[in-house]
Structure 1
Amino acid sequence: MQTGRPSRTAMSSARARAVHQVADSPPVFADPLAVRIVGGVADDDPRPPGVPAMPAEVRLFMALRHRVAEDALWAAARTRQVVVLGAGLDTFAYRNRNPALRVFEVDLPATQEWKRRRLADAGIDIPDTVVFCPVDFAEQTAQEGLAAAGFDRHAPAFFLLLGVAPYLTRDALLATARFVAQLPAPAELVFDYNQPADALPPHRQATRAAQAEAMAKAGEPWRSFFTPADIAAELADAGFDSVADIGWHDCLARYGLDPSLPDLFGGRIVHARATGKERS
Structure 2
Amino acid sequence: MGLYGLLSDGRLSVNGTRRDAGHGRQAGRHPGNGRICRRDVRGFEVDLPATVVRQAELVLAAIGKIPATGVYVPVDYRNDGLDGALESVGYDSKRKTLFVCEGVTRYIDAAAVDRFMRFITGNTAPGSSVVFDYMPLGAVQGDFERCPDIRRLSFWVAYRGKPLVFGIRKGDSAAYVSQHGLKVMSDLAPKDLEKRYLTCSDGSLDGPCASAFRIMHAAAP
Match of 1:232 among 152, 169, 174: 174
Larger deviation, residues 226-235 vs 244-253: 226-235
Aligned amino acid, residue 115 of structure 1: Q
SS in 2 for 1:144: coil
- Structure 2 segments unaligned to the other structure (5+ residues): 18-22
| Pairs within 5 Å for 1:1-280 | 72-87=2-17, 88-95=23-30, 96-97=33-34, 98-123=38-63, 125-135=65-75, 140-186=80-126, 187-195=128-136, 196-197=138-139, 202=145, 204-255=146-197, 257=199, 258=204, 262-275=208-221
- Cα distance, 1:92 vs. partner? 4.5
Return closer, same or farther for 1:149/1:86 CA change in 2, 3 Å cut-off: same
Cα-to-partner distance string for 1:1-27 (whole Å, 9 max, x where unaligned):
xxxxxxxxxxxxxxxxxxxxxxxxxxx
Give secondary structure in 2 for the equivalent of 1:205: coil
Q: Which runs of 5+ in 1 are unaligned?
A: 1-70, 276-280
- With normalisation by structure 1, the TM-score equals 0.64
1:37 — aligned with what? none
| CA spacing shift, 1:214–1:259, aligned 2, 3 Å | same
Q: Which has the higher helix share?
A: 1
Asked if the contact 2:11/2:43 (under 8 Å) is kept, the reply is yes
Contact 2:131 2:216 in 1 (8 A): yes
Distance 1:162 1:136 in 2: 14
Q: TM-score, normalised by structure 2?
A: 0.80
Runs ≥4 residues deviating over 4 A: 136-140, 198-201, 259-263
Q: Could you tell me how far apart the structure 2 residues matched to 1:106 and 1:174 are? A: 17
Give the whole-Å Cα distance in 1 for the aligned partners of 2:118 and 2:98.
Answer: 14
Computed over aligned residues only, the root mean square deviation of the Cα atoms, in angstroms, reads 2.6
